[in-house]
Structure 1
Amino acid sequence: MLNNLGPGSSVLMRGLKQTIAPGRNIIANTYYSTSKSAQSSNPKTETTPVGKGKSVAPETVRTKRRELSGSKYESATYELPKWKEALGEFVISTFNLDMDKVRSGPIAGSYYYSICKEQGLQYEDEPLSQTAKFFYEDLKLPKTFSQWYQITILHEWMLFIRMRAMPFKYGKNYQQKLVDRTFADIEKRLYDEMNVHSGRITDQYLKDFNSQLRGAVFAYDEGFFTGDAALASAIWRNLFGGRKDIDMVHLEAMVRYVRAQLYVLSKLSDREFAMGEFNFVAPDESVEILTPEQEKSLREKVVAKYEALDANPNTLPSDRSKFSYTN
């Protein structure tokens, strides 16, 4: 477990999960706006910003790539046929596959990327999600592809922090799967949504996005280990693009938001996190630090849950893990 999330971790926090923090405090965010953004129901030709200082030639958005892929296996409603499930379990047990490594694909590359992507996802002719409203309406961020990317990598960085606390070979694998899926999805979105059909231009954009990712992660890491002032500076330079007219209240809200997510992540065991038992705290919810009694009770419930799961002879091979649930 991450025992220390760095200076400033005592800011407003929300309880760990919706069912585990007694007396969790959910309040109306003072920066929350209920007004709907002006939207158009008709596609139009425009120059769409993609990378920093770059734009694509006039285009008409053709396909919305909301889903991660066209694969039915990533659909939330798809159920694997029983014979395929049985065959998979047989292969896992027969060849003694390391499910903690195999699981990094569907968990980090699919689920964790999907929740990062969704935070700032927006389309011109669709209403914004509650989280997207926070970023685009409350914080007044521009609705561009590049801005969506900055929102996404901020959330990915927070997951990187937790992944680094996992056993090295697994944590590294989880991070790589998350990054690989990010750029695979961006390449498809550039083609489908931005009409970037030139391989050379696509490569240029991907290199630019890769540089943005590396720079943002370095800046956020420095802020994470240094303090809230440095973290606020990193958020201002990356998420807000270094704008001089930024409202300090908005910057404070983002620092609180980030610290809240990191606190929740710090209270998850390796087993819980590796199995995908995490989602981001909504911007209009607050977080309160657990008391020692609440934390002890939570830990006991987690231990009891996984001890029973590991001891059950009927637990499927794909559901087993060597990750610790006591850390």
Structure 2
Amino acid sequence: MAKDIPLKRILLAAIIILGVVFRIWASQPTWIHWDENFYINIFQNFVDRGELTPYMWRLGNDTNIISGAGTGYGIFILIGWMTIFGESLFGVRMLMVLAGLVTTWVYYLISKQWWESREAGIAAMTFGIVSTSAFYTLVGRMDALAILSYSLLLFLHIVAVRQVKKWPHFWVGAVSILSTEIHILGLLYVGSLAIYYGFRYVEIVSRERKLMLDSYPVYFFCGAGIFGVLYVIIHILPDPQAYFLIPTTCSICESSFLQTEINRIQRFITFRPLDSFLVIVISAFAIKSRERYRHFSILFVGYIGVQIIAKPPSFV
């Protein structure tokens, strides 16, 4: 029976198992990231006082801010996990490892749906080897769950654009806003999708030479608009000062936007030389490769580019 199993599948299974073992081993609480205490503190405060904020902030129970301009009601995923499996740093990290594994599978489905070929496995492999993916799908923060939500959003978007129906695009807009409940960086994806649908709407109007209120881009903006207004009403209006507590009181956030991003790029090159090398190699490959593979290369570079912009800290 074993002889009937292709060697490449055996190797793939071995790689996955070995990767999971190493990830679990690296999750041992022999080190800690300062933000892990932040999220565990939210859980402790909710259990002890029913408040959805870090106890160290002393915001009380009269706010829906959760944790400043960061995580929204997605924190209940972490709270539910810790309620079931216990208040353990290692246990929290296991949730993130699980989210990372699911995300890898979603990446495969996304790429397979996009290119309709088994080359999709390359995208999943890329997600696994890029160092920012490895770290942020292990550390006990909300990043792994956020990456999973963004991946599911992209999958929903690809499914929507393959259909004639317009309502799926409404839900793409709605889900893009809901992703900010996991992490506020979901706004990057809201903005990217808005640019895409805005460009498509201009194309439609230019072709039809009239406003098209029944077009699929309008459905997207309606979904994003309705859920965006609800987000503002629920999270921001009750206490704007508390909502913007992190960006307004964080001492390491005082640098200008430009300086912060320059620092991120410097940190990326310094601490992630392999990723930097991959950017150069794949960029060259994208320029010289056949048209069939060029779009994959551009996506690969874009993915690592997002890591440069959003992930490396602007400080040591």
TM-score, normalized by the shorter chain, greater than 0.5 = no
Higher relative contact order (CA 8 A, sep 6+): 1
Tell me the TM-score normalized by structure 1.
Answer: 0.26
